Amino acid sequence: MKAFLTRYRFFLSFILLDIVLCLAMSEKGSLAVSSSFDSLIEMLSIIPPIFILMGLMDVWISKETMMKYLGKGSGFLGACFSFLLGAFSAGPLYAAFPLAALFLRKGASLFNVFLFLGTWSVAKIPMMLFEITQLGARFTLLRFTLNLVGIILIAFAMARTSDEEREKEIRDRAEEAETQGQSQQQGSRP
């Protein structure tokens, strides 16, 4: 019970805040509750297949395979592979964090992991099709091209400015965050 309260303390505080809001300004309060609820439904509808695919990837793809395709020596092909993984995805960026952590734990290079995160954020193909219908092809393609240059530079910068010690810290952190639920530790920060 205490562990539950500790793990969910931020969530519970916000619930309390929403309740206060409902009492003080009922209109705003109910809007906040219904917005959160809508997002919850949206997220619950996206998340199950992602986590199932992650679980399957975890047991079927060995560290060696991952290192071969996305590891340090994977070169241009590894970068293309990271790009495709990000482009053929769906969901908000925060859904990509656990996947990126899994890739890191399996030995993917920092450049490839950040390229994957970048592609996921700015170049999801399904979302871009919708963007074209709303903002036009010219805007969408310009934005895509310019952002693509940006995310490649960012991935490069993230990999280059992380020395070995820092890289190890990032990997450890990703591994720790990923396995936290498995070792009955009490959750730390959200």
Partner 1 sequence: MFTYILYALAAAFLLFSFIKDRKKTAAALRKAWKSFESILPSILTVLMIIGLILTFLDEEMISRLLGSDSGILGMLIAAAVGSITLIPGFVAFPLAAALLSAGAGYAQIALFISTLMMVGVATMPLEARYFGKATALKRNMLSLAAALVSSMILGDLI
Task: Evaluate whether 152 touches 124 at the Cβ level (below 8 Å).
Answer: no
Confirm or reject binding of residue 87 to partner 1 (CB under 8 A): no
Q: Is 182 in the site for partner 1 (CB under 8 A)?
A: yes
User: Is the alpha carbon torsion for 120, 123, 126, 127 positive or negative?
Assistant: positive
One residue of 7, 22, 72, 81 binding partner 1 per CB under 8 A = 7
Binders of partner 1 among residues 119 to 178 (CB under 8 A) are 121-122, 124, 126-127, 130-131, 134-135, 138-139, 142-143, 146-147, 149-151, 153-154, 157-158, 161-162, 166, 169-170, 173-174, 177-178
- The two tokens of residue 101 are 């952590």
**Is position 33 an interface residue for partner 1 (rule: CB under 8 A)?**
yes
Q: Which of residues 36-65 bind partner 1 (CB under 8 A)?
A: 36-37, 39-40, 42-43, 45-56, 58-60
- Closest approach of partner 1 to the CB of residue 190, in Å: 4
d(CA 21, CA 169) in angstroms, rounded, equals 40
